[in-house]
Chain A
Amino acid sequence: MIPSSPFLCVITDEVECPLSLAEKALRGGASMIQLRHKTACSNQLFSWAVKITTLCKEYGALSIINDRLDIALASGADGVHLGQQDLPASAARKILGKSRIIGVSTSSAHEALQAESDGADYIGFGHIYPTHSKVKEFNPLGPETLRSVAALVSLPIIAIGGITIENASLVIRHGATGIAVISAISRAEDPLNATQELVKSIKQGNTHE
């Protein structure tokens, strides 16, 4: 269910309305939307999740819910994305069954291998470059670390952290199947156009191989 050719995942934030951001991202060619909003109440999250999932189906994209399996199940989303401080993937799998996607955020080879043995469908890996979207406790991992982890795990890797139209194709060539971005789209003057440009440079990364 995860696209096999390089793709873009757009993650929502608290800056822009998730629904409106998702719509622009999907029109711009994103293949996966991750609904992530840490302050909204859960009936609001549920309502966004339902609408974003409907939109994703129209565009042939995947809808993923950050942290909340309950919201993912209630809304019929395609899956969940779990951080290291969320429910373990092994516990999540028992509730979600095999048909839904589970992604796990990782930032080391150890975490990546753990996610794989816990039954994840993809791993998030980063941050690759410096980023201001989230407060970070460690230095950027860089594309070479990405390459070494990609050689260790067989799961698709979605790279995250400071990825732009300039470096996206390089990141793809270093073993990422997908690229995830937050502020590159949500804080862009024109999120639709920014998505289109990013998708274009990701596809270029593929052709250079």
Chain B
Amino acid sequence: MAHNYLHRTPLPRLFLISSGRETHVDGSLLTEQLKQIPRSMDCMVQIREKQLDAKQLFLLSLKAAAIASSTKIRLLINERADIALAAALQGVHLPEKSCPPDKLRPFAQELIIGCSVHSPESALSAEQSGADYLLFGPVFDTPSKRKYGPPQGVNKLGTICRSTSLPVFAVGGITPKNIKECKSAGAYGAAGISIFENDARFAANLEQFYNALYQ
């Protein structure tokens, strides 16, 4: 079963989050960038395009899945486990106020289910609810996350990592230079939105991120 394969295999350490700038599903930014990811590069990519409706998300997911099928990319979608299943993606990423993982698991056994957490309490409840990984941030200052308040910092990242046995991905202002700090604090991996935002340097940024994570 796909489920066993996915859950026995360690998660990739590199986690990319889409730009949120998709306006249509044809010739999209996301699919063009997915094509640039080396076939052997182990990574997760989250489709996070809140401005698209469910039908557009489904069509975009189908396109992305077709590109990812011959690679080591594991595709996840933000929040919508139903679209993940419909498009045969590998997982779903749940914002903090989502339907809990244990309510989704009965019909989504094969999916990787990850949770955004902002406190040790929500990390604990996500773990008890059967999440496969946690995403914590913003660790560093980043323009896209300023509306969610000040950066949480590396110390708090460490607190979250010590409070759970799940892999924790650091997000928010992550660069190849500060990945080492995150790893020292206990982070399993790192997530970046900004990688997808700089079209011209996408491939080069990706490689730097990947190398820093696996150093």
Contacts and interface: CB of A to CB of B under 8 A. Distances in A.
B58 A74 contact: no
A144 interface: no
Interface of B: 53-56, 58, 79-83, 85-86, 95, 97-100, 103-104, 106-108
B54 A95 contact: no
Given A70-B104, A74-B103, A74-B104, A87 B82 contact: yes
A87 B107 contact: no
Given A73-B107, A85-B53, A86-B53, A95 B98 contact: no
B104 A42 contact: no
Given A41-B95, A74-B104, 15 more contacts: A43-B98, A43-B99, A44-B97, A67-B54, A68-B80, A70-B81, A73-B104, A74-B106, A74-B107, A87-B58, A87-B86, A88-B55, A92-B86, A94-B86, A95-B85
7 contacts: A45-B99, A74-B103, A85-B53, A87-B55, A87-B58, A91-B58, A95-B107
A112 B58 CA distance: 21
Contacts of B107: 73-74, 95
Contact of B83 (A44, A46, A87): A87
B79 to A, nearest CB: 6
A98 to B, nearest CB: 15
Contacts of A71: 99
A148 B169 CA distance: 56
Interface in A11-58: 41-46
A60 to B, nearest CB: 25
A36 to B, nearest CB: 13
Given A68-B82, A70-B82, A87-B82, A46 B55 contact: no
B139 to A, nearest CB: 23
Contacts, number: 63
B204 to A, nearest CB: 37
A199 interface: no
A85 B97 contact: no
A159 interface: no
A111 to B, nearest CB: 13
Contact of A70 (B58, B95, B97, B99): B99
Max chain A C-beta neighbours (<10 A), residue from B55, B58, B95, B108: B55
Contacts of B53: 85-86
Nearest to B54: A86
Interface in A52-93: 67-71, 73-75, 84-88, 91-92
Nearest to B92: A70
Contacts of B100: 43, 46
A86 B55 contact: yes
Contacts of A69: 82, 86
A88 B58 contact: yes
A74 B94 CA distance: 14
Nearest to A43: B97
Nearest to B84: A70
A74 B80 CA distance: 12
Contact of B54 (A42, A45, A46, A85): A85
A45 B86 CA distance: 21
Contacts of B54: 67, 85-87
Nearest to B52: A85
Contacts of B81: 70
Contacts of A68: 80, 82
Most B C-beta atoms less than 10 A away, residue of A75, A87, A94, A95? A87
B99 A74 contact: yes
B55 A42 contact: no
